[in-house]
A and B are shown apart, each in its own frame.
Chain A
Amino acid sequence: MLKDITIGQYFPGDSIVHKLDPRIKIIIIGLFIASLFLIDSFLPYIFIVLFIGTVIKVAKLPLKFILKGIKPLVFIIMITLAINIFMTKGEVLFYIGPLTVSKEGLYTAAFMALRLIFLITGTSLLTLTTSPIALTDGIEKLLNPFKRLGLPAHELAMMMTIALRFIPTLLEETDKIMKAQMARGADFESGNILNRAKNLIPLLVPLFINAFRRADELATAMEARCYRGGENRTRLNELRLKKTDIVVMTSMIIYFALIVSTRYIDL
């Protein structure tokens, strides 16, 4: 049952999108999000769709994967729709009970819902085409300049790597403990919320104790392998900007600048 959880699911491949430097990808997604929030009319959405479509096509991502990413957020999208439809004042079109539906309401609701959908798909493109290791590497390198301000960039990246490494191990362990407790009559699936939460205690206590023990052992093993923080550390796969990275980066900056500039042009 716990095996279904996939965090930051990665879809392996070796397209140009996959091979792009993770730093560039993170920056592009940043630009994407920024421009998404700066757009103030429907028309520039065409370019956003074009961007998402091109990435999906080039990276050969199955559409099913993308749609799966939207599914858990349908509820939030519905709420956004409802709030915007009923809360925006303007030219009244019709009434539903005490609620009014205005023309402007429908307009903003559609606009916001689309923004949300693009936001989710756009960011999932990043995790789908970048392996967790490349992603943490990219984050570490991007945060490096802030080290001087006291930001522990290396430590943050190392924590993320270890967390990702131990997710499957701890899930497996949870499964094992659950089965062991169930064999001794524990019940995790019935009763009201309060009872269920109470029943989780015999699961969580051993899980936490084991996690602390693991952390202790891992720290000893890391020390035995000469780990002493980020200083003087080199990497097996160093990140190096290639020509394609720079070309893609520059064209993306121009592309998103154009999208944002539609804000200032009367179409």
Chain B
Amino acid sequence: MNDEVMIRLENVSYEYKSYVDDSIQTAVNDVSLEIKKGEFLCILGHNGSGKSTMAKMMNGLLFPTSGQVTVMGINTRDEDKIWDIRSKAGMVFQNPDNQIVATIVEEDVAFGPENLGLPPGEIRRRVDEALEIVEMSEYKKHAPHLLSGGQKQRVAIAGILAMNPDCIIFDEPTAMLDPNGRIEVMGTIKKLNEVEGKTIVLITHYMEETVDADRIIVMNKGEIALQGTPREVFSQVDKVKGLGLDVPQVTELVYELRKEGINIKYDVLSVEELVDIL
């Protein structure tokens, strides 16, 4: 990780009109945030906390009502450069079925680079490389609807990777997957950060997925409620629970043990760690 800023949000707010009664709703309220190059950032929050809206503003799918969003120094409002921003900050969505365009895996992965107007030889190289990284090379001639949820989501990730982005924003990528698919996809995300050096913004409401992050941001009612490393955030068990979120089981167990007067350090994140201490 270095000091170069990948995405910067300056006093960003997002308001929209309610369908029900025309009242103005605030999804994101005056948030300032810097995401560094190579960082693994998790944004946590329960439904309606504004985390998805924030993600969509990071690659110009939505524009802030007030404030500025810049991606690698480019303002997302700059219409001429919107495609630069979208190819630099790729986005993976919740439902893998609804982001796969083509009827063959490799054709789908090629969709992004095709849109960028790259020569066929270069597209071929990128498609093969992207499928290699997500470990789906052997399925490249398959039809996507015959794959499992985790496999489909990895194809979707390959589709973004093939555009060669510096940053990938994941909008609840595991919410519709079974436990196995969740493990597969989380493995891929960690690999992208550690091996490929991509900046990762992971939006989720599963606490367990945030354990390996560099930094966690907890959103509540459109504002940043808590911020820090996983250890710092999870040690504040009461506060996290107050925001309607669960802490990882291990952390909760430690918390309960401490409440009963057993003196162990509070910031335990994994089962192995706790076993060692006990």
Contacts and interface: CB of A to CB of B under 8 A. Distances in A.
Nearest to B93: A221
A225 B160 contact: yes
B25 interface: no
A236 B101 contact: no
Given A169-B97, A220-B61, A234 B123 contact: yes
Contacts of A232: 117
A162 B101 contact: yes
A238 B122 CA distance: 13
A127 B186 CA distance: 40
A223 B60 CA distance: 10
Interface string A208-239: 00000010011011111111100011111110
Contacts of B163: 225-226
B100 interface: yes
B145 interface: yes
A176 interface: no
Contact of B115 (A132, A169, A172, A228): A228
A218 B112 contact: no
A66 B83 CA distance: 47
Contact of A224 (B86, B114, B143, B145): B86
B23 to A, nearest CB: 23
Interface size class, chain A: 20 to 34
A236 B119 contact: no
Contact of A228 (B83, B91, B118, B143): B83
Given A226-B116, A233-B115, A164 B99 contact: no
A143 B93 CA distance: 34
Interface in A85-123: none
Interface string B160-195: 100100000000000000000000000000000000
A165 interface: yes
A195 to B, nearest CB: 33
B101 to A, nearest CB: 6
Contacts of A174: none
B117 A234 contact: yes
B103 A233 contact: no
B120 A237 contact: yes
B236 interface: no
Contacts of A222: 101, 111
A222 B116 CA distance: 12
A172 B152 CA distance: 16
A205 to B, nearest CB: 19
B160 A236 contact: no
A218 B101 contact: yes
A158 to B, nearest CB: 8
Contacts of B156: 221
A152 interface: no
B159 interface: yes
A133 B103 contact: yes
Contacts of B235: none
Contacts of B104: 133
Contacts of B91: 221, 224
B110 interface: yes
Interface string A229-264: 000111111100000000000000000000000000
A161 interface: yes
A221 B91 CA distance: 8
Nearest to A235: B114
Contacts of B13: none
B112 A226 contact: yes
14 contacts: A133-B103, A168-B145, A172-B145, A214-B98, A218-B99, A221-B101, A224-B59, A224-B86, A224-B91, A227-B111, A234-B119, A235-B110, A235-B120, A236-B106
Interface of B: 59, 61, 83, 86-87, 90-91, 93, 95, 97-104, 106-107, 110-120, 123-124, 127, 143-145, 156, 159-160, 163
